[in-house]
A and B are shown apart, each in its own frame.
Chain A
């Protein structure tokens, strides 16, 4: 499946491909700092320390007071892909913390992340947060704010993330950072222009996916939910065609890919794996799903039947998506996402990087 993304030409692409396949730490562009500095910083902030920074950040955010935070002089802050001054955006409108809390850490890279709920003007919202810690100061803050009350309420109704995400992997079964990213990236490569004919053996049989607090797989209640339903995927009502055309949130991860109905996701780009945590088998990516909605609306199902399906207008999902990988297979997926202008950049990548479908992550010498 790694052959599916369009391979960009040039040195950068070749280097990224090397990272992907043989894990040579050439250019490490997911984390702007160089590798050596990251390792040094990591020694000063372990998992508990990183989570402490997230807590401190969320408390300061709820109090609308960024001055409480230890930040570097040139700290960079983005909200929904836009670079703002720390203290702007959600910092003006946050009114409290929420109840859903999912913490992720990458001590080797000095990165911490969080999925959870907050209050904005009293209403529940979803926040995806990434912090980079250098010398016990916050140097980077990246946020996605999903302003959808119902989805935030769904997340809080779930109560907590799947415990699997925080379970440790036995030391002898831990994947290298490169292999962890490689497995998670198969998900993106398999979804992009999905034709239902790929090798989807990277999914564990019990794989589950949650999107903005809702079960998007193996969900007997919500037959047509999640990303696909909200993308206006057409549903054929005739009973003899239901098996072919009716995408279902009741299917397993693998069945959804095998349907070929995800074809309208035309490009998954700027795949920045910002948390790579071999100890827990967790990889978190910030990325974009593009829907060109042009000729790609017409496609062939695995059955051979040609259909027209998918959204009618171009747009992009801005997504933070985390994977639990065990023994080379994806067991859990959780995503926070919202709609963005078609082709939008994250504010953390060059134009070329933002258009690339190659995976990027922080390579750590000796840990790949």
Chain B
């Protein structure tokens, strides 16, 4: 545990000391971010997102301006562009949240989709350099009920599409730092250290697990309903103590215009935590799903207003324990290579 905390501390230091690198370039190459600057502005990037969705729906990557060595992953696995989701997608829903980061040349979208008619949730991000797409990262949360639950909200929370006044925009560094502190707060069961706007709600895989009274979530025990709490108090309960580490953490899009920061975060669960010790409640048993080793890649995005986290949303992809994220090095997602 100490070793892991040491690594986490190192990760925090990395983000704090080199915010431009951490926030601008997902592969840690700051010079690439510089190259992308000015090449494709906000509207250009969001237009390319729509172009991508159109090509995806047509099952035709040939419609896209792909770099010769474009890298593509789906749910962490390196594949050829045109494989997997490219062969199965049958429609794109109206539930969409766009992201664009002209400074880093990154863009993305969360959208509900259908694969051969089966509902799913897509989280896409790609990188554009000199007008060409060089990196494509897709997460597909394949759970029809979750996708339908997300659509049942009717539309995304309006905060996602409300631009932040230029005078009130948060710096890139602070946006990335806020997201990072959120994960530290989870690991330390300390919501007080996270700059939450207490109106903040979290919707993951179509389920709102904050300020949501009357539902029996994973950790419901008698009158203890953490899903009914605000996000700070929820975090303070200690119910997330089964999460042993959250690494790596990659900030991939910093959308200052909309105040959105998007990242990919690997949650690692050894599966050996049986109870959460909740003050005033006692031992709350961990649900069976986290009582075996597993890793989960979260594609998660944060709305930052006035330096505070106003809203959180994202999707998960369940993976074997210790799985890589597919972006460690070209064609080396698997450590056995």
Contacts and interface: CB of A to CB of B under 8 A. Distances in A.
Interface string B142-179: 10000000000000000000000000000000000000
B75 A342 contact: yes
A293 B116 contact: yes
A142 B324 CA distance: 17
Contacts of A344: 77, 334
A294 B85 CA distance: 8
Interface in B80-125: 83-88, 115-118, 120
A83 interface: yes
A313 B116 contact: yes
Given A93-B291, A121-B291, A348 B116 contact: no
A297 B116 contact: yes
B293 A90 contact: yes
Interface in B197-216: none
Interface string B131-142: 000000000101
A152 B85 CA distance: 32
A123 B287 CA distance: 13
Interface residues of A, number: 40
B270 interface: yes
A79 B117 CA distance: 33
A174 to B, nearest CB: 33
Contact of B336 (A83, A121, A292): A83
A244 B294 CA distance: 40
Contacts of B271: 92-93, 120-121
B274 interface: yes
B115 A341 contact: no
A92 B272 contact: yes
Given A81-B320, A313-B115, A313-B118, A294 B292 contact: no
Contacts of A88: 270, 293, 321-322
Nearest to B335: A83
B336 A93 contact: no
Interface string A309-337: 00011110000000000000000000000
Interface string A288-312: 0000111101000000000000001
Contact of B83 (A93, A343, A346, A348): A343
Interface in A212-247: none
Contacts of A83: 322, 334-336
A347 interface: yes
Contacts of B317: 341
B193 interface: no
Given A83-B336, A314-B88, A342-B84, A351 B331 contact: yes
A312 B116 contact: yes
Contacts of A145: 292
A89 B85 contact: no
A169 interface: no
Interface in B258-277: 270-272, 274
Interface centre among A84, A313, A315 (most CB of B within 10 A): A313
B274 A121 contact: yes
Contacts of B337: 345, 349-351
Contacts of A192: none
A76 B87 CA distance: 36
Interface in B44-77: 59, 74-77
Given A147-B292, A341-B75, A295 B87 contact: yes
A343 B77 contact: yes
A82 B83 contact: no
A314 to B, nearest CB: 4
B322 A89 contact: yes
Interface in B322-337: 322-324, 331, 333-337
Interface in A36-82: 76, 78-82
A204 interface: no
Contact of A341 (B116, B270, B288, B319): B319
Interface centre among A76, A125, A293, A349 (most CB of B within 10 A): A293
Contacts of B321: 79-80, 82, 84, 88-89
A312 B118 contact: yes
B336 A348 contact: yes
B17 interface: no
Given A295-B87, A351-B331, 4 more contacts: A92-B270, A293-B115, A293-B116, A350-B337
9 contacts: A93-B270, A121-B274, A292-B87, A293-B116, A295-B87, A313-B88, A314-B84, A341-B75, A343-B78
Nearest 3 CB-CB pairs, A to B?
A294-B87, A347-B336, A312-B116
Interface of A: 76, 78-84, 88-90, 92-93, 120-121, 123, 125, 145, 147, 292-295, 297, 312-315, 340-351
